Amino acid sequence: MFEEYVPDLDSYMEAWNELAKATRVQNELNNRLDEIVAQVYLDCTTNIMYTVSGKAPAISLIKESYAQIGHTPESREEIAEIKQKLVELEERVTLLRGTIKVEEMKLNLYQTMSANSRNVAAY
């Protein structure tokens, strides 16, 4: 009777699997970004090329500039690439979470309809 309302549990599980994979990639990219930023801090505070009057640049300058965009052409390119991938992954994660939520709502609706058909009353 209510079989047409039964959610597809295979697609529900697939969405969970995809969410796990996307989250893993997101974490890996965030870890790589942290590594690059750490290298930026290290280079900017120890490399004479970044000193001004023999002093390393202020940490706030490094944090607000070099750490955001990179301090070398290679780091700039890698940071920009990682940030773009993170934006795309966040969109994917949001869509997957929405899919999972909809499937959960379908399951709850099916359970309610099934219980109501059996005249189950909550006392």
Tell me how far apart the alpha carbons of residues 114 and 3 are, in angstroms, rounded to a whole number: 10
Residue 1 lies in a domain: no
Residue 39 lies in a domain: yes
Indicate the number of domains in the chain: 1
Residue 2 lies in a domain: no
Q: What is the pTM of this model?
A: 0.81
Tell me how far apart the alpha carbons of residues 112 and 110 are, in angstroms, rounded to a whole number: 5
Helices (H), 1-123: 9-46, 59-61, 67-69, 73-117
Residue 28 lies in a domain: yes
Condensed to tens digits (0 to 9), the pLDDT of residues 1-17 reads 566 667 788 888 999 99
Condensed to tens digits (0 to 9), the pLDDT of residues 43-59 reads 999 999 998 888 999 99
Write the single-letter amino acid at 87.
Answer: V
Q: Which domain holds residue 50?
A: 8-117
Give φ, ψ of 55 to 5 degrees.
Answer: -115, 145
- The answer to whether the CB of 116 falls within 8 A of the CB of 15 is no
Residue 101 lies in a domain: yes
